[in-house]
Each structure stands twice: as C-alpha cells, then as structure tokens.
C-alpha cells in the first residue's frame, strides 16, 4: 500500500511509521487516519516486522491532534463515524500482538495523545508536551482519551488534564507514569531502538502472551485475567523457543529464538 501522509520503513525487524503532515503539525485528518489504519494492517501481517514505531515528521510535533478544520465541517453523524473510526484504529493498535512504541518527538495533543496512549511503550523527547486540549475547542476527546487516560493515571489526573485542556511537560508526564523514558531530542531515535532491539530478538509467543494477558487482563476481573495468563503461559511452554530459552540459560549462553 502506498501512502501520501505517511512514510514507512522496515529496518532489522523494526517498522517505523512516520506521520507526515508537517505543515499541519501532523494533525490527523481522515485520509491520514485511513492511511494509518492501512499501514498498521500491513505491518501486523508482515512476518518481517517484529516491532512497530510510530512517530511524527519534523522537530515540532508528534501529532497536534485530530484535524480541527475537518472537525469543524462535520455533521453530527459524520462526527460519530469519525470518533468511531479513530477509536477503532486506536483499539487495533493497542490489541496488536506486536509491540508498538510511540516515539514522541514533540506536541502530542488531543488525537496525538490518544494515539500515544494506545501504544504499548512511550518514549519522549524532553521537548514534548502532552495534553487533551479539546475542551478549549468546545469539544472533548473522541479517540479513546477519556477511557485510556483514566485507566493509566486515575480520575484525579485524567480529569485535571481533560478539564483544564492544558498540556504538561514530558518530565511531568514521566513522573505520572505516562511515559517510559524522556531523553534529549537528539537521543530519541537511539532510546527507542534500545527498547525495540531486544524485542526483535525476543520469543514472539512470549511477547504476544505478555501483551494480551497484561492489556486484556487489565479490563477483566482477576480470576479471568489469571486464567488468561495460565493459558498464554502454557502456549509459551509448547514452543521450541521455550526449549531454546531454558537450555541457553542452563548452558550459560545467549538464546537464539526462532519464533517456533
Ligand atoms: N488541526 C488542524 N491544523 C492544525 C492543528 C490541528 N489539530 N494543529 C496545528 N495545526 C496547523 C495550524 O492551523 C497551522 O496551520 P497554518 O500554518 O496553515 O495556519 C500549523 O498547523 C502550525 O500550527 P501553529 O498553531 O501556527 O503552531 P504554533 O507553534 O503556534 O502552535 C500548537 C502549536 C500545537 C500549540 C497549536 O498548533 C495548537 O494548539 N494546535 C491545536 C491543538 C489541539 O487543539 N488539538 C486537539 C484537536 S481536536
């Protein structure tokens, strides 16, 4: 699939999707959302892709939100389908069985923050600012922001961010547990690689099991979550990779996982 508003490249198992609308600070219009949907489907079905990285073009923004000019022109019915499409995209990202890392190179506002929240890991430049400014436009988050933020940081902070509309610094977001790491802008690519590279070499069944048990488990009761964990643990133990990983430990060597 070819894209107008995205650049995609796979190197060493790491598939980087760069959102490319720099003149609009990478705002998500319908076309970009649809392209992102297609890019994620492509990457999820490609065996060469082991980790997905999502970032923004230019040095100013990750994504400055959904496209405000488009929102303004929508009928209420179109707004409903826009919100549902955005939510479906974010849910698809969150439920992928490959790790997705947000490389937050600048503003992550509104839909940009919601996109980052749907990713599994978030690494940010110290210049980044994160927020849900929709209230200032007379609207509210519509791509899952009210649901994912409260689950990550609780209602006190989720409501502070959504009701004030004020963005917070990367440092504060890190303190709140919203980010895995904050680095100087020039170090962002290396920092993301440091998270991604071990995952490229990891046993895929273990990666899939950890993602599913952790994320689905968080939304179901403990008993059901524990049953899910047991099922995924047993699946890992049915793989050649489990034999290899445990043998490598006992033989004091590095494992070589084959994805079988
Ligand atoms: N939708 C559409 N266009 C957007 C946009 C968005 N979410 N965010 C930025 N842009 C456009 C601006 O309209 C401007 O376009 P123009 O040059 O054609 O006028 C361009 O991107 C640059 O933005 P600008 O506001 O001039 O940059 P800035 O450095 O002064 O401010 C921000 C940066 C991020 C603080 C500011 O752009 C902003 O507040 N954006 C909207 C954030 C938001 O409310 N997001 C939620 C949307 S639901």
Residue 258 lies inside a defined structural domain of this protein: no
Question: Could you give the CA distance from residue 210 to residue 95 in angstroms, rounded to a whole number?
Answer: 12
The verdict on whether 4 is a catalytic residue reads: no
Question: Could you give the CA distance from residue 96 to residue 120 in angstroms, rounded to a whole number?
Answer: 9
Q: Verify that 166 and 191 share a domain, yes or no.
A: yes
Q: Which distant-in-sequence residues (6+ apart) come within 8 Å of 255 by Cβ?
A: 203, 241, 244, 245, 247, 248, 249
Residue 259 lies inside a defined structural domain of this protein: no
Q: Verify that 189 and 86 share a domain, yes or no.
A: yes
Residue 29 lies inside a defined structural domain of this protein: yes
Residue 196 lies inside a defined structural domain of this protein: yes
Whether residue 127 has its Cβ less than 6 Å from ligand 1:
no
Domain endpoint, select from 184, 200, 216:
200
pLDDT level of residue 183 (50, 70, 90 thresholds): very high
Q: Verify that 132 and 33 share a domain, yes or no.
A: yes
Ligand 1, residue 24: give the atom nearest the CA: 21
Domain endpoint, select from 158, 184, 200:
200
Where residue 253 falls (left for φ over 0; alpha for ψ -120 to 50; beta otherwise) is: beta
Buried b (16+ CB within 10 A) or exposed e, 199-226: beebbbbbbbbbbbbeeebeeeeeeebe
Residue 213 lies inside a defined structural domain of this protein: yes
CATH code of residue 116: 3.90.226.10
Domain span at 78: 6-200
Angle at 72 between CA 70 and CA 77, to 5 degrees: 85
Mean pLDDT of 174-196: 98
Whether residue 68 has its Cβ less than 6 Å from ligand 1:
yes
Q: Verify that 127 and 237 share a domain, yes or no.
A: no
Whether residue 107 has its Cβ less than 6 Å from ligand 1:
yes
Substitution candidate for ligand 1 out of 25, 29, 57, 86 with most atoms within 8 A of CB: 25
The verdict on whether 114 is a catalytic residue reads: yes
Sheet containing 181-183: order of strands: 6-11, 14-19, 51-56, 100-104, 121-125, 181-183
Q: Verify that 124 and 227 share a domain, yes or no.
A: no
Read off the tokens for 162.
């959504």
Residue 62 lies inside a defined structural domain of this protein: yes
Q: Report the percent of the chain where pLDDT is more than 90.
A: 99
Measured in Å, residue 24 CA sits from the centre of ligand 1 at 6
Q: Which of 4, 114, 189, 223 is catalytic?
A: 114
- pLDDT 10s digits, 133-173: 999 999 999 999 999 999 999 999 999 999 999 999 999 99
Q: Which of 70, 73, 134, 205 is catalytic?
A: 134
Read off the tokens for 195.
């998270």
Q: Verify that 185 and 209 share a domain, yes or no.
A: no
Question: Could you give the CA distance from residue 91 to residue 190 in angstroms, rounded to a whole number?
Answer: 27
The yes-or-no verdict on residue 1 having pLDDT over 90 is no
Q: Report the percent of the chain where pLDDT is more than 70.
A: 100
Domain endpoint, select from 161, 185, 200:
200
Q: Verify that 193 and 210 share a domain, yes or no.
A: no
- pLDDT 10s digits, 19-67: 999 999 999 999 999 999 999 999 999 999 999 999 999 999 999 999 9
How many domains is the chain built from? Answer: 2
Q: Verify that 220 and 132 share a domain, yes or no.
A: no
Angle at 127 between CA 121 and CA 133, to 5 degrees: 80
Q: Verify that 234 and 196 share a domain, yes or no.
A: no
- Residue 208: what pLDDT? 97
The yes-or-no verdict on residue 91 having pLDDT over 80 is yes
Residue 1 lies inside a defined structural domain of this protein: no
Measured in Å, residue 130 CA sits from the centre of ligand 1 at 14
Q: Verify that 114 and 180 share a domain, yes or no.
A: yes
CATH code of residue 225: 1.10.12
Measured in Å, residue 86 CA sits from the centre of ligand 1 at 19
User: Rounded mean pLDDT of the chain?
Assistant: 97
Residue 257 lies inside a defined structural domain of this protein: no
Q: What is the Rg, in whole angstroms, of the alpha carbon atoms belonging to the chain?
A: 19
Q: Verify that 156 and 184 share a domain, yes or no.
A: yes
């Amino acid at each position: 699939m070819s894209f107008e508003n995205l650049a995609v490249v796979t190197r060493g198992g790491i598939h980087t999707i760069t959102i490319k609308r720099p003149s609009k600070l990478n705002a998500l219009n319908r076309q970009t959302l649809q392209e992102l949907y297609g890019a994620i489907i492509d990457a999820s079905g490609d065996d060469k892709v082991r980790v997905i990285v999502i970032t923004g073009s230019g040095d100013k923004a990750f994504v400055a939100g959904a496209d405000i000019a488009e929102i303004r022109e929508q009928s209420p019915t179109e707004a409903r389908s826009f919100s549902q499409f955005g939510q479906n995209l974010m849910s698809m990202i969150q439920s992928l069985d490959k790790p997705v890392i947000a490389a937050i190179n600048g503003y992550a506002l509104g839909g940009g923050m919601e996109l980052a929240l749907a990713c599994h890991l978030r690494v940010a430049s110290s210049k980044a600012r994160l927020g849900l400014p929709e209230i200032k436009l007379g609207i509210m988050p519509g791509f899952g922001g009210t649901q994912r933020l409260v689950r990550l940081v609780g209602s006190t902070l989720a409501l502070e961010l959504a009701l004030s509309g004020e963005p917070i610094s990367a440092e504060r977001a890190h303190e709140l547990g919203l980010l895995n790491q904050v680095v100087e802008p020039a170090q962002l690519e290396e920092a993301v690689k440091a998270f991604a590279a071990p995952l490229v070499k990891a046993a895929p069944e273990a990666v899939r099991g950890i993602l599913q048990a952790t994320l689905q488990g968080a939304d179901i009761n403990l008993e059901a979550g524990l049953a899910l964990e047991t099922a995924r643990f047993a699946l890992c133990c049915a793989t050649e990779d489990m034999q290899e990983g445990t043998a490598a430990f006992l033989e004091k060597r590095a494992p070589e996982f084959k994805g079988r």
